[in-house]
């Protein structure tokens, strides 16, 4: 059976931008300006829906509060979802890596666009979310999970 993925909904769950705690000319992307990504998803196998939340945070090193935070939700309709999602013997979900990487790539790119639109005309417009390889991110997540 063929896997067919479509986007049912794209929504901005939350967006917050705070004043910079340091002068703009002191910000160096990748040094004292750090971004983080978080992902969460929920699956409804009966309706063949896969909801994928993406959280992006920008922090200035040495501070606790993010200066920018965006959460997006993309709802995918996946015909034949059961071919890429199953329950493992230990009761956890087993999700095909290629499928998950594909959805993650869509979510990162969409979130980058929403972030770019939201920061237009602000200091943060100079710091777009960089290009990221979803397969590398997934491998890093799996590695961290296995270490715990």
Q: What is the pLDDT of residues 5-22, one digit of tens each?
A: 999 999 999 999 999 999
Instruction: Indicate if the pLDDT at residue 1 is higher than 80.
Output: no
Q: Tell me which residue range forms the domain holding 57.
A: 4-147
pTM: 0.94
Task: Tally the domains of the chain.
Answer: 1
Q: State how far the alpha carbon of 77 is from the alpha carbons of 13, 45, 48, 71, 130, in Å.
A: 19, 10, 6, 20, 27
pLDDT band at 3 (very low <50, low <70, confident <90, very high): very high
Average pLDDT over residues 41-49: 96
For the domain that residue 14 is a member of, what is the CATH number?
Answer: 3.10.420.10
């Amino acid at each position: 059976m063929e896997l067919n993925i479509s986007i049912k909904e794209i929504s901005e769950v939350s967006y917050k931008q705070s004043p910079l705690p340091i002068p703009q000319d002191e910000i160096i992307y990748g040094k004292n300006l750090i971004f983080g990504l978080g992902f969460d998803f929920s699956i409804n196998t009966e309706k063949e829906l896969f909801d994928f939340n993406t959280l992006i945070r920008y922090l200035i090193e040495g501070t606790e509060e993010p200066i920018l935070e965006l959460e997006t939700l993309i709802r995918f309709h996946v015909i034949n979802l059961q071919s890429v999602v199953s329950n493992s013997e230990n009761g956890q979900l087993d999700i095909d890596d290629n499928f998950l990487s594909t959805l993650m790539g869509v979510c990162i790119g969409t979130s980058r666009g929403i972030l770019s639109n939201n920061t237009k005309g602000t200091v943060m417009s100079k710091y777009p979310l960089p290009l990221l390889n979803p397969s590398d991110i997934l491998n890093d997540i799996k590695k961290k999970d296995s270490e715990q």
